Amino acid sequence: MNITIIGTGFVGVVTAAVYASFGHQVIGLDVDEQKISSLKKSQVPFYEPGLEELLKEQQAHHNLSFTTDYQTAIKDAEIIFVTVGTPSAPDGQADLRFVFASVESLAPHLQKQAIVVIKSTVPPGTLDKVEELIHSHTETAFYTAAVPEFLREGSAVADTLHPDRIVLGATNEQVFKKLEELHRPLQAPMIRVKPESAQMAKYAANAYLATRITFINQIADLCEKNGANVEEVVVAISPDKRIGAHYWYPGFGYGGSCFPKDVKELAAYSRAIGESDNLFNKVNDLNQDRIPKLLDNFEKKIGGWENKQVAVLGLSFKPNTDDMRESPATLVIPILLSKGASVTSFDPMADWQRFLRLEKMEKNHQQSETLKQAVKDADVIIALVEWPEIIGFDFAETKTTKQQWFIDARNQFSPTIIKKIGYHYLGLGRPS
């Protein structure tokens, strides 16, 4: 099949490389010339394990190419996937500007019976607007579908090659058949639904996972006050089959490029259709307030942030990615600096300077090359992200004789071991 992917960001590049690996002819298109020029040289402009190798392999087989030209990319395409960004607008709703711009650009070049698939996360109702827009630019007959993406950054290639399910949102038998044929090599369950259900399923999945994180954070806060240990509570509730042992992460709240925006968008979408009093508003508020609240609590315990040397370990929003969009560090570091602390940080992959350039932020600090350098002379260590390099580090090696605090933001360390080394240990919802 001839397949085109519009928007070669995280989702787009991974999707393009995986479809190419099935033997299809895939073209990736982006308006970002720099990105396309890197991809042409098999250089992935972000860190995603295994992606560069897959890209190189498919380009060597001549299955995968990249362009900035819509006509080249669309004229022979049987299926076009739109994977452009859908950030939150100022009112919280999904900003669909990039989706509509890409659809307007592709419409004049569509071949007969092509299928335009929206893979970006968009609210129900978007497909009607997409169809209207295409009709206003072409007489050619076309189809549309909604196939939401469920990959996770950090394991995107494996997630795309081994998905739990493929959700196909369409209204036409031919479209279902063609999309099933494309995804058959994945040997995953394929679920046929209405486009609106596919779009709701994506929001429902992310909102549920974000709510689960918020839920256990609330329980951790109660444990903090009553002497219970949240880690023991998790062990005690997990055998209940209705609850399960997976995905319990008490911590500094959820971050990243998807959960915060998708919860915000679902809350705004609910309000826009008349459901003002909704759970997602509350989940979003609790998560937004979490880091300032935790830093205030820790401030009392350590006797103030002012003039403290703080080592922040982990800048990305989770391990195995260099993505810093809405990562805890991007909230923690500016607060610490505004309270008079000096900050050094370490991350195996993420680059604070690059983030400042992308986000046009000014809050600077010293990012160290090594973890050892970052924690040297620290009064407080905050282990924010569970990178193996951070969890596996021997903190005894760098312990000095001065009083030092160790904040374990993801409850990843043994309080007994950290205390034995000589730190004052502070976890979340577990005894210090």
Binding status of residue 144 toward ligand NAD by CB under 6 A: no
Sole binder of ligand NAD in the list 25, 32, 196, 342 (CB under 6 A): 32
Sole binder of ligand NAD in the list 20, 27, 30, 251 (CB under 6 A): 30
Task: For residue 321, give the amino acid letter.
Answer: T
Selected range binding ligand NAD among 30-38, 134-142, 221-229, 368-376, rule: CB under 6 A = 30-38
Sole binder of ligand NAD in the list 5, 7, 20, 127 (CB under 6 A): 7
Q: Which is nearer to ligand NAD, 12 or 251 (CB)?
A: 12
Binding status of residue 6 toward ligand NAD by CB under 6 A: yes
Selected range binding ligand NAD among 5-13, 184-192, 246-254, 269-277, rule: CB under 6 A = 5-13
| Cα–Cα dist 155/174, whole Å | 32
Q: Which residue is nearest to ligand NAD (CB)?
A: 9
Binding status of residue 198 toward ligand NAD by CB under 6 A: no
| Cα–Cα dist 244/108, whole Å | 50
Binding characters for ligand NAD, 226-265, by CB under 6 A (x = yes)? -------------------------------xx-------
CB of 8 to ligand NAD, least distance (A): 5
Give the residue among 257, 264, 250, 251 at the shortest CA–CA distance from 324.
257
Selected range binding ligand NAD among 10-18, 131-139, 389-397, 404-412, rule: CB under 6 A = 10-18
CB of 106 to ligand NAD, least distance (A): 8
Binding status of residue 201 toward ligand NAD by CB under 6 A: no
Cα separations in angstroms, 371 against 17, 354, 416: 34, 19, 22
Strand order in the sheet with 424-426: 366-367, 342-346, 309-313, 380-383, 405-408, 424-426
Sole binder of ligand NAD in the list 3, 5, 11, 77 (CB under 6 A): 11
Binding status of residue 199 toward ligand NAD by CB under 6 A: no
Give the residue among 317, 319, 378 at the shortest CA–CA distance from 345.
378
CA 231, 233, 234, 235 dihedral sign is positive
Sole binder of ligand NAD in the list 3, 5, 55, 151 (CB under 6 A): 151
Selected range binding ligand NAD among 9-17, 367-375, 383-391, 394-402, rule: CB under 6 A = 9-17
Q: Which is nearer to ligand NAD, 235 or 358 (CB)?
A: 358
CB of 103 to ligand NAD, least distance (A): 9
| Cα–Cα dist 31/73, whole Å | 12
Query: What SS3 state is found at 289?
Result: helix
284, 326 Cβ separation under 8 angstroms: no
| Cα–Cα dist 17/257, whole Å | 21
Binding status of residue 130 toward ligand NAD by CB under 6 A: no
| Cα–Cα dist 30/361, whole Å | 25
Binding status of residue 8 toward ligand NAD by CB under 6 A: yes
Binding characters for ligand NAD, 314-343, by CB under 6 A (x = yes)? ------------------------------
CB-count burial class (<10 Å; 0-12, 13-18, 19+) for 114: buried
CB-count burial class (<10 Å; 0-12, 13-18, 19+) for 132: exposed
Question: H-helix or E-strand containing 204?
Answer: helix 195-226
| Residue 391: how many other CB atoms lie within 10 Å | 14
Which residues are designated catalytic?
Answer: 258
| Cα–Cα dist 25/305, whole Å | 56
Q: Which is nearer to ligand NAD, 149 or 408 (CB)?
A: 149
| Residue 152: how many other CB atoms lie within 10 Å | 15
| Cα–Cα dist 218/428, whole Å | 11
Question: H-helix or E-strand containing 230?
Answer: helix 230-237
Total residues at interface with ligand NAD (CB under 6 A):
27
Binding status of residue 121 toward ligand NAD by CB under 6 A: yes
Residue ranges in contact with ligand NAD by CB under 6 A: 6-12, 29-32, 35, 83-86, 98, 101-102, 105, 120-121, 149, 151, 153, 257-258
